[in-house]
Structure 1
């Protein structure tokens, strides 16, 4: 877990505690929230494809919040499960790809399209490196630029309509994190 995520997560969950309590009170299953988040991100991505940046930002932000809260709701309502964790990780990959794919498909600029594709590949590399290491029995929670940071950069870029800059930061940050994970795994797997 990145320093940023590790330090802010308790404050984030405390700030959203009333919403977490309300959703738990109404007995809404966290998997419903996960799928709602995916639907909202899909809608936001379509709006991004149409270059409606403001509405896209709103839908993507709410979708990202659903995704950020589903784990806390699962823990609070004692509904955390292996299946829920699996669905959450799976939908995370779709949510990560959809807005970047929308940018790539809506652009007539080949460099912007290339940056979008590179952002997808490098961010998937970051996620896969951790998942594969865990599949081999190792913990690999290192990296400066994890999913939360990638989403924040993307949302800020969309809000200010600075897509190029956001994509450059996404590609560089994800690539650095990927190499951090490769290097760290090389060290820990040799022990």
Structure 2
């Protein structure tokens, strides 16, 4: 099962970036690491954007995700990919995940069920970290883990679509249902990845803490 990143849609998306955006950005003189920093800076603005209007929060997620896509693409095209670069990018992505989800949570800050919203946000954040940790831990043990619905690209795409719906649908229903769907999909991804890794490691390895 391919992820969104390796699907036809994902490949088409990266081809468009490479053919139409990469060269102008290279001419500006930006480096992959600078794009990474721009991406996280835009992520920090997401909560502030949501406080002004959900459409602005959506815009900041889109531009932050775009910068995150371009940094890796530029590194590969310039043959500047490195182990540290991948490590830095993955680390920064977790910071961005926090600010993305915080933006949605702030939309419910003044809601009477603020505690419930906080618990949902914490659950979503924990599961997001689990998705990434399971993959990182599996790969450190030599197992492949390119499976699951909610990989990084799919999560960002989901958040953009969710923010757009919130911007066009009055009330808080879209916020609540968006959190619930995100959590369900994230749980499914964590379970899928654990089962996938178990099938690879159980015959010859025992998991240790």
Using the size of structure 1 for normalisation, the TM-score is 0.91
Larger relative helix fraction: 1
* Distance in 1 separating the partners of 2:178 and 2:92: 22
Per the TM alignment, residue 37 of structure 1 is displaced from its structure 2 partner at its CA by 0.5
* Counterpart among 41, 44, 48 of residue 43 in structure 2: 41
* Distance in 2 separating the partners of 1:139 and 1:184: 8
Q: Does 1:31 align with 2:33?
A: yes
* Distance in 1 separating the partners of 2:2 and 2:120: 24
What residue in structure 2 maps to residue 90 of structure 1? 91
What residue in structure 1 maps to residue 56 of structure 2? 55
* Distance in 2 separating the partners of 1:128 and 1:3: 17
Counterparts of 1:96-111 in structure 2, within 5 Å, are 96-105=97-106, 107=109, 108=111, 109=113, 110-111=115-116
Does the aligned pair in 2 maintain the 1:24–1:77 contact within 8 Å?
A: no
What are the superposed Cα offsets for residues 123-162 of structure 1, whole Å, 9 maximum, x if unpaired?
A: 1111100001111222211112212111122111111212
Moved more, 4-13 or 124-133: 4-13
What residue in structure 2 maps to residue 72 of structure 1? 73
Per the TM alignment, residue 22 of structure 1 is displaced from its structure 2 partner at its CA by 1.9
- Unaligned regions of 5+ residues in structure 2, if any? 167-173, 204-209
What residue in structure 2 maps to residue 125 of structure 1? 130
Secondary structure of 2:41's partner?
A: helix
* Counterpart among 155, 178, 182 of residue 194 in structure 2: 182
* Distance in 2 separating the partners of 1:56 and 1:102: 7
- Unaligned regions of 5+ residues in structure 1, if any? none
Using the size of structure 2 for normalisation, the TM-score is 0.84
Secondary structure of 1:4's partner?
A: coil
Matched length: 190
Per the TM alignment, residue 14 of structure 1 is displaced from its structure 2 partner at its CA by 1.4
* Counterpart among 147, 153, 161 of residue 158 in structure 2: 153
Bigger Rg, structure 1 or 2 = 2
* Distance in 1 separating the partners of 2:39 and 2:128: 19
Distance 1:170 1:73, change over 3 A: same
* Counterpart among 179, 184, 187 of residue 172 in structure 1: 184
What are the superposed Cα offsets for residues 147-178 of structure 1, whole Å, 9 maximum, x if unpaired?
A: 21111221111112122222112101110010
Does the aligned pair in 1 maintain the 2:46–2:103 contact within 8 Å?
A: no
Moved more, 29-38 or 80-89: 80-89
Per the TM alignment, residue 51 of structure 1 is displaced from its structure 2 partner at its CA by 5.1
